[in-house]
Amino acid sequence: MDLSFSKEEQAFQDEVQAFLATALPADIAARVASGQGATRDDMERWHGILHTKGWLGGTWPTKHGGAGWGPIQLHIFEEESALANAPRILPFGLKMLAPVLMEFGSPEQQAEYLPRILDGRDWWCQGYSEPGAGSDLASLKTRADRATDGHADGHADGGPDGGAGSDGDEYGDHYIVNGQKTWTTLGQYANRIFCLVRTRFDGKPQAGISFLLIDLDTPGIEMRPIRLIEGGYEVNEVFFTDVRVPVSNLVGDENEGWSIAKFLLGHERTNIAGTGFSVQALEQVKALARQVKRGGKPLIQNPLFAARLAQTEAELEAMKITNLRMLSKAATGGQLGGEPSMLKIKGTVIRQSLNDLARRALGPAAAPFPSEDLDNLAIAPPGHGHNAAGYFNNRKISIYGGSNEIQRNILAKGMLRR
Amino acid sequence: MNFEITDDRRMLAETLQRFLADTYPFEHRTAVAYDAPFHDPAKWAELADLGIFYALVTEEQGGMGGRGFDIVTLFEELGRALCPEPILGQLLAASLLNAPEPLMDGTRYALAVSELDAPYDPDDITTTADERDGWRLTGRKTVVYGAPAAEVLLVAAKGPDQVLSLFRVAAKDAEIIGYAMIDGGPAGEVFLEDTPAKLVTKDAGPALQNALDLGALALCAEALGAMEVVQATLIDYLSTRKQFGQPIGAFQVLQHRTIDLAIEIEQARSIVILAASAEGGSEFPKRAAQAKHLVGKIARQVSEEVIQMHGGIGLTWEYPLSHYAKRLVMIDHQLGDTDHHLERLMDGL
Ligand SMILES: Cc1cc2nc3c(=O)[nH]c(=O)nc-3n(C[C@H](O)[C@H](O)[C@H](O)COP(=O)(O)OP(=O)(O)OC[C@H]3O[C@@H](n4cnc5c(N)ncnc54)[C@H](O)[C@@H]3O)c2cc1C
Please indicate, yes or no, if residue B129 is contained in any of the structural domains: yes
* Residues B342 and B222 both lie in one domain: yes
Query: Quick check: CB of B243 below 6 Å from ligand 1?
Result: yes
* Residues B192 and B222 both lie in one domain: no
In the residue annotation, A108 being an active-site residue is answered as: no
Give pLDDT, residue B2: 85
**Which domains are present in chain A?**
7-89 (1.10.540.10), 124-256 (2.40.110.10), 274-416 (1.20.140.10)
Give pLDDT, residue A311: 98
Give pLDDT, residue B178: 97
The pLDDT confidence band at residue B71, using thresholds 50, 70 and 90, is very high
Pick B312's closest partner by Cβ from A136, A183, A373: A183
Query: Quick check: CB of B315 below 6 Å from ligand 1?
Result: yes
Mean pLDDT within B109-133: 96
Last residue of a domain, one of B140, B168, B202: B202
Residue A167 has pLDDT above 70, yes or no: no
Last residue of a domain, one of B141, B167, B202: B202
* Residues B232 and B342 both lie in one domain: yes
Mean pLDDT within B203-220: 97
Instruction: Using the mean position of ligand 1's atoms as its centre, give its distance from the Cα of residue A410 in Å.
Output: 15
Distance from the B254 Cα atom to the nearest Cα atom in chain A, whole angstroms: 9
Q: Give the whole-number percent of chain A exceeding pLDDT 70.
A: 93
Which is more confident, A133 or A172? A133
Residue A155 has pLDDT above 60, yes or no: no
Distance from the B24 Cα atom to the nearest Cα atom in chain A, whole angstroms: 21
Chain B residues whose CB is inside 8 A of the A408 CB are 253
ipTM comes to 0.97
Bridge partners for B111 per DSSP: B154
Q: If you take atom 31 of ligand 1, which residue's CA is the nearest one?
A: B311
Give pLDDT, residue A152: 53
* Residues B233 and B339 both lie in one domain: yes
Chain B residues whose CB is inside 8 A of the A226 CB are 316-318
Residue of B nearest to A306 (CA): B339
The pLDDT confidence band at residue A171, using thresholds 50, 70 and 90, is low
User: Among positive and negative, which fits the CA dihedral A324, A80, A189, A104?
Assistant: negative
Pick B180's closest partner by Cβ from A230, A369, A399: A369
Query: Quick check: CB of A409 below 6 Å from ligand 1?
Result: yes
Q: Are B187 and B143 in contact (CB under 8 A)?
A: yes
* Residues B39 and B69 both lie in one domain: yes
Instruction: Using the mean position of ligand 1's atoms as its centre, give its distance from the Cα of residue A401 in Å.
Output: 7
Please indicate, yes or no, if residue B2 is contained in any of the structural domains: no
Chain A residues whose CB is inside 8 A of the B318 CB are 226-227
The total of structural domains in chain B comes to 3
Cβ distance A139 to B243 less than 8 Å, yes or no, reads: yes
How many C-alpha atoms does A304 have within 13 Å on its Cβ side? 16
Q: What is the mean pLDDT of chain A?
A: 92
Residue B60 has pLDDT above 90, yes or no: yes
Most ligand 1 atoms within 8 A of CB, residue of A95, A124, A142, A183 to mutate: A183
* Residues B83 and B123 both lie in one domain: no
Give pLDDT, residue A158: 41
Residue of A nearest to B38 (CA): A369
Distances (CA, A) of A55 to A70, A77, A78, B11: 13, 9, 11, 69
Mean pLDDT within B133-153: 97
- Predicted confidence (pLDDT) per residue in A205-235, tens digit: 999 999 999 999 999 999 999 999 999 999 9
Distance from the A238 Cα atom to the nearest Cα atom in chain B, whole angstroms: 16
B175 φ, ψ (degrees, to nearest 5) = -95, 120
Mean pLDDT within B47-57: 95
Distance from the A48 Cα atom to the nearest Cα atom in chain B, whole angstroms: 32
Q: If you take atom 49 of ligand 1, which residue's CA is the nearest one?
A: B309
Give pLDDT, residue A151: 54
Mean pLDDT within B264-275: 98
Please indicate, yes or no, if residue B241 is contained in any of the structural domains: yes
Give dist(CA B35, CA B33) in Å, integer.
Answer: 6
Give pLDDT, residue B130: 97
Query: DSSP code of A151?
Result: B
Query: DSSP code of A184?
Result: -
Distance from the A331 Cα atom to the nearest Cα atom in chain B, whole angstroms: 34
Q: Are B47 and B85 in contact (CB under 8 A)?
A: yes
Mean pLDDT within B191-206: 97
Distances (CA, A) of B224 to A175, B77, B232, B265: 53, 9, 12, 7
Other beta carbons less than 10 A from residue B10's beta carbon: 12
Four-point Cα dihedral B231, A395, B81, B154, nearest 10: 130
From the list B281, B269, B266, the residue with the least C-alpha distance to B73 is B269
Residue B192 three-state SS: strand
Pick B317's closest partner by Cβ from A228, A302, A359: A228
- Predicted confidence (pLDDT) per residue in B324-349, tens digit: 999 999 999 999 999 999 999 999 99
Taking the CA of residue A409 as reference, the ligand 1 atom at the shortest distance is 42
Chain A residues whose CB is inside 8 A of the B27 CB are none
Please indicate, yes or no, if residue B292 is contained in any of the structural domains: yes
Instruction: Using the mean position of ligand 1's atoms as its centre, give its distance from the Cα of residue A125 in Å.
Output: 17
The pLDDT confidence band at residue A159, using thresholds 50, 70 and 90, is very low
Long-range contacts of range A25-30, CB-CB < 8 Å, 24 or more positions apart? A25/A49, A28/A86, A28/A87, A29/A84, A29/A85, A29/A86, A30/A85, A30/A383
Please indicate, yes or no, if residue B338 is contained in any of the structural domains: yes
Q: Are A193 and A214 in contact (CB under 8 A)?
A: yes
Host domain of residue B337: 207-346
- Predicted confidence (pLDDT) per residue in B151-164, tens digit: 999 999 999 899 99
- Give the number of beta-carbon pairs within 8 Å between A and B: 148
Give pLDDT, residue A150: 56
Pick B311's closest partner by Cβ from A134, A293, A359: A134
Other beta carbons less than 10 A from residue B109's beta carbon: 26
Instruction: Using the mean position of ligand 1's atoms as its centre, give its distance from the Cα of residue B315 in Å.
Output: 11
Query: Quick check: CB of B307 below 6 Å from ligand 1?
Result: no
Distances (CA, A) of B227 to B148, B170, B328, B331: 28, 36, 8, 12
Cβ distance A363 to B326 less than 8 Å, yes or no, reads: no
Mean pLDDT within B32-38: 96
Domain CATH number, residue B128: 2.40.110.10
Cβ distance A369 to B315 less than 8 Å, yes or no, reads: no
Give pLDDT, residue B343: 97
Kindly report the pTM of this predicted structure: 0.96
Residue A166 has pLDDT above 50, yes or no: no
Q: Are A166 and A234 in contact (CB under 8 A)?
A: no
Query: Which of A71-75, A158-162, B32-36, B103-107 is predicted with the least confidence, judged by mean pLDDT?
Result: A158-162
Chain A residues whose CB is inside 8 A of the B189 CB are 377, 379
Give pLDDT, residue A202: 93
* Residues B193 and B307 both lie in one domain: no
* Residues B261 and B298 both lie in one domain: yes
* Residues B188 and B78 both lie in one domain: no
Bridge partners for B199 per DSSP: B167
Query: Which of A244-258, A334-348, B312-326 is predicted with the least confidence, judged by mean pLDDT?
Result: A334-348
Query: Quick check: CB of A139 below 6 Å from ligand 1?
Result: no
Cβ distance B312 to A134 less than 8 Å, yes or no, reads: yes
* Residues B270 and B332 both lie in one domain: yes
Cβ distance B316 to A226 less than 8 Å, yes or no, reads: yes
- Predicted confidence (pLDDT) per residue in A34-49, tens digit: 888 999 999 999 999 9
Last residue of a domain, one of B156, B176, B202: B202
Q: Are B145 and B294 in contact (CB under 8 A)?
A: no
Most ligand 1 atoms within 8 A of CB, residue of B253, B254, B307 to mutate: B254
Q: Among A130, A268, A283, A339, which one carries the catalytic annotation?
A: A268
Pick A368's closest partner by Cβ from B182, B340, B343: B182
Query: DSSP code of A272?
Result: G
* Residues B97 and B113 both lie in one domain: no
From the list A105, A95, A75, A94, the residue with the least C-alpha distance to A13 is A75
* Residues B325 and B284 both lie in one domain: yes
Give pLDDT, residue A1: 80
The pLDDT confidence band at residue A269, using thresholds 50, 70 and 90, is low
Give dist(CA B312, CA B318) in Å, integer.
Answer: 12
Instruction: Using the mean position of ligand 1's atoms as its centre, give its distance from the Cα of residue B309 in Å.
Output: 10
Cβ distance B254 to A405 less than 8 Å, yes or no, reads: yes
Query: Which of A124-133, A185-194, A244-253, B3-12 is predicted with the least confidence, judged by mean pLDDT?
Result: B3-12
The pLDDT confidence band at residue A156, using thresholds 50, 70 and 90, is very low
Domain CATH number, residue B268: 1.20.140.10
